[in-house]
Structure 1
């Protein structure tokens, strides 16, 4: 009888869940070890006012990634998760009372921008939408949906002599400067520059290539029944249906290696689990402490100065009035440059923080579900990733909330403070949730044209040890972390097949094995 090869996945975040599903689909025997009590990693849920509130990522894009993953397991995504496409992507507000909605329809957004600003900026948006779509079209097969290339390999995939597409990626321009060529209105530079924060980065330091994030949203934002944590639960159920075992409330103390090869894991309670294949779904900065081999993995920790942003978040239930919330909302400060100077230059919280609100009981256009006294919301404020050196006091956390509420009030949104039920999470708490990160939520910041190539790929120098998650290629965010898990499982399957020629464990689905 053929012996089934055992794979251990460390961490049940999006990357770990995707790698477990992909590896199981390829015929491997998979066990997932998770230190918390639930799947999802950053796709976590908190209880506020006795109700579950999504307290991590809130935007689901790149549906094709999840369709591809579920298809590997012979499952239909739509049958497993209720998903509704949002026609209104987000509502944006400013302190002077200005308001702008963006839509899935490019022409609807262009008309809204013309009314908000003028025809010149609307035409700039049409050019911006076309250019960001072209960027994504170029990078999807060559970078996003493929094993990590170096700069030369990426040029080869695009075409060494295809200078037009290479230059169209704008790798040497900052996102902020590039946006100025589309939008004379500085408010629109601010709005579209915010997409750099999806990678925990500053639009003043990130390459213009991150414009493609705007296309990803315009191409489709999806609202999942039950929220983002329900997506993690659906992935967990699919994996379990395939025979994947989950061990929750179980912490890995060490990844055991010998002679440059994986030998198993040692758990915190002293139990050892033998295996020669591990997929590590955690931040790369935590890897050295687990392997005990300085430099042995070939994966360096992210230095503090290169970390992405962290956040101060508030999961809450509260009553609101005034500004008509949609599902996704952003309230901008007046001085974006000063905000990022505080966050990155001075490592402090800005006095007037741009505030994102996911109003989780509202439809995409703003309809509020009935039946509850108050609505569920998640506030997200960018913060420095210094959670390993600074602890937020209760007073400081309260001051952050007061500053955000005062800012929202200036933008026209009133939140009844007398009935709020609030659960905060600060960078030091994120550091404890995700060890060795300082609270950085996106791995390495995407600052400079080389940053994307400094994220490690799926393979390490230790035979049998693979990487998944937002700090590895292709980058942060739930869809990208999901792709990283699929790429890790693909690398594992290819490597096992090369060592055991009789085995044909091949993962299909269109991802390059280059």
Structure 2
């Protein structure tokens, strides 16, 4: 049973959408709220579930809008998704909405993708990875031959086994360890657990499945979904292939609508949301987190604090010295990748883009040697382009003359290094990578107006400013080695009253994983609340006098 179903009454109300919020259990008058610091997807999911359960909740967000990494900056007067661009694992949000007395279809308009992504290589090869299983097999047969198509089928079967093996004991588990994973699987599930190849790398496993190096490169890119190298990430990341085959959706109006919908749902259940509100310190009394201090000096009491920022910000002391011991520090070498991105509104010429298009480098290993070994921007990067005004069909779509594009290349997490420090990315290095990126696109047929005429560029330093304590790393710790999945912080940490959520915590990065972390955080708060019913901090007008 999931933590969500254990602790939240799913019979709160009929699924009538936002117009009829559910009534949770009555709360004590004057009871201090649960303070959720950060309105990313994890924090919003926690707020929805806690508010639906009748717990007083207040969400505090330093940015002017909700969403965290699910950003949509304005470029040339248009909103462009500058963070996550695909919606997967719909069941996570179906369950969340059910627990809050509504249905996902009442909150968002989702359109299934028929083309998961279009891929292009310097040798002129091009492949659409299709959502329909048989159509995908046929496309790969035309691209790489019938033997590779059969190998692809075997790869998908293995990805499905991995996904089914890990969903219950790992994704929904509160604090999985190798031993607990085996225990939760049970003796009947032990053979499947041993077959998921936890000790091999993704690149090694792909070499056993595919002979065509281009397919190995295509599916190796799944490691970058969690900011990692396919040469170091575990083979279990093959499960991403099954996740995508289960469904990838476009969100009508943009991915930022997901965050806005969850925020509205939380508010309908009584949660209070405050944007442009920076938390500078988490307050601790008698070894327990019991409030926060804001940038204006105001102090707010809390029965618990859910921190939905990057976990490394706590150990770095950015939320005060009192909570430093809550988590071990994340070494710089264990950070996930950052990115260098451009958001623009521009005419597109040459290449027939799909909504999601990947332009691969000619040497994947050299690219990751640059990123992971030399800690520099790649000489020849793989480039992801999200054409946000297109559907699946490319040229068959009706698109404006100037299209909204997100262009992204991977980058080392060096956003907190001072100029002159080894590894610092200078303006000259960034400008050189920019030139190489758009030249690479042109070589593969895509001609765009060269930045920076009407483009918004975001560097690892900018990501560090947006998400302090990360160095620009976008996914918490890198998933390198078989132990990595078991070392992410869980919802519970070393400090009472402090609960963690977000992509840097278990079960990992990505929109659905962050939502799962929010479910786990809500379950932790409710469990702690049930075990400490005699402890009720009381909110007072104008803040508190906590030291």
- Tell me, yes or no, if structure 1 residue 457 matches structure 2 residue 490: yes
Distance 1:246 1:216 in 2: 32
Partner of residue 426, structure 1: 459
Report the CA distance between 1:25 and its aligned residue.
1.2
Alignment check: 8 A CA contact 2:414 2:425 kept: no
Structure 2 counterpart SS, 1:45: coil
Q: Pick the aligned partner of 1:306 from 315, 334, 347.
A: 334
Partner of residue 277, structure 1: 304
- Of 70-79 and 83-92, more deviation after overlay is shown by 70-79
- Tell me, yes or no, if structure 1 residue 495 matches structure 2 residue 505: no
Alignment check: 8 A CA contact 2:38 2:61 kept: yes
Residue ranges of structure 2 left out of the alignment (5+ in a row): 1-26, 419-423, 537-547
Alignment check: 8 A CA contact 2:116 2:130 kept: yes
Partner of residue 100, structure 2: 73
- Of 144-153 and 308-317, more deviation after overlay is shown by 144-153
Q: Pick the aligned partner of 2:378 from 345, 350, 362.
A: 350
Partner of residue 295, structure 2: 268
1:344-394 per-residue CA deviation (whole Å, 9 max, x = no partner) reads 000111111100011000012325765743100101100000111056555
1:447-496 per-residue CA deviation (whole Å, 9 max, x = no partner) reads 00000110011011211110000010000001100110111001110111
Alignment check: 8 A CA contact 1:148 1:474 kept: no
- Tell me, yes or no, if structure 1 residue 62 matches structure 2 residue 86: no
RMSD: 1.8
Partner of residue 250, structure 1: 277
Q: TM-score, normalised by structure 1?
A: 0.94
Q: Pick the aligned partner of 1:235 from 240, 248, 262.
A: 262
Report the CA distance between 1:420 and its aligned residue.
5.2
Taking a change above 3 Å as real, the CA distance of residues 57 and 368 of structure 1, as seen in their structure-2 partners, is farther
Partner of residue 445, structure 1: 478
Partner of residue 349, structure 2: 321
Distance 1:39 1:172 in 2: 38
Distance 1:188 1:109 in 2: 13
Q: TM-score, normalised by structure 2?
A: 0.89
Alignment check: 8 A CA contact 1:14 1:232 kept: yes
Alignment check: 8 A CA contact 1:124 1:183 kept: yes
Report the CA distance between 1:143 and its aligned residue.
0.8
Structure 2 counterpart SS, 1:146: coil
Taking a change above 3 Å as real, the CA distance of residues 371 and 97 of structure 1, as seen in their structure-2 partners, is closer
- Tell me, yes or no, if structure 1 residue 484 matches structure 2 residue 517: yes
Report the CA distance between 1:417 and its aligned residue.
3.1
Structure 1 segment 99-178 matched on structure 2, within 5 A: 99-160=126-187, 162-178=189-205
Report the CA distance between 1:419 and its aligned residue.
9.6
Alignment check: 8 A CA contact 2:502 2:509 kept: yes
- Tell me, yes or no, if structure 1 residue 293 matches structure 2 residue 326: no
- Tell me, yes or no, if structure 1 residue 330 matches structure 2 residue 358: yes
Partner of residue 340, structure 1: 368
Residue ranges of structure 1 left out of the alignment (5+ in a row): 504-514
Distance 2:86 2:364 in 1: 23
Distance 2:311 2:177 in 1: 19
Report the CA distance between 1:152 and its aligned residue.
0.5
Distance 1:196 1:383 in 2: 14
Distance 1:341 1:35 in 2: 36
- Tell me, yes or no, if structure 1 residue 2 matches structure 2 residue 28: yes
Report the CA distance between 1:126 and its aligned residue.
0.3
1:315-345 per-residue CA deviation (whole Å, 9 max, x = no partner) reads 1111112221111110000100000000000
Report the CA distance between 1:500 and its aligned residue.
2.2
Distance 2:396 2:47 in 1: 37
Alignment check: 8 A CA contact 1:83 1:225 kept: yes
Report the CA distance between 1:61 and its aligned residue.
0.3
Alignment check: 8 A CA contact 2:389 2:399 kept: no
Structure 1 segment 171-250 matched on structure 2, within 5 A: 171-250=198-277
- Tell me, yes or no, if structure 1 residue 381 matches structure 2 residue 414: no
Partner of residue 510, structure 1: none
Distance 2:341 2:363 in 1: 21
Structure 2 counterpart SS, 1:347: coil
Report the CA distance between 1:498 and its aligned residue.
1.9
Partner of residue 5, structure 2: none
Alignment check: 8 A CA contact 2:345 2:454 kept: yes
Structure 2 counterpart SS, 1:70: helix
Alignment check: 8 A CA contact 1:359 1:375 kept: yes
Distance 2:380 2:230 in 1: 18
Distance 1:410 1:270 in 2: 54
1:88-131 per-residue CA deviation (whole Å, 9 max, x = no partner) reads 11000011211001111121111111111111111111011111
Structure 1 counterpart SS, 2:73: strand
Distance 2:190 2:230 in 1: 25
Taking a change above 3 Å as real, the CA distance of residues 477 and 121 of structure 1, as seen in their structure-2 partners, is same
Distance 2:509 2:252 in 1: 23
Alignment check: 8 A CA contact 1:254 1:265 kept: yes
Structure 1 counterpart SS, 2:385: strand
Distance 1:443 1:129 in 2: 28
Distance 1:417 1:388 in 2: 28
Distance 1:134 1:373 in 2: 44
Partner of residue 35, structure 1: 62
Alignment check: 8 A CA contact 2:314 2:323 kept: no
Distance 1:331 1:20 in 2: 39
Taking a change above 3 Å as real, the CA distance of residues 93 and 410 of structure 1, as seen in their structure-2 partners, is same
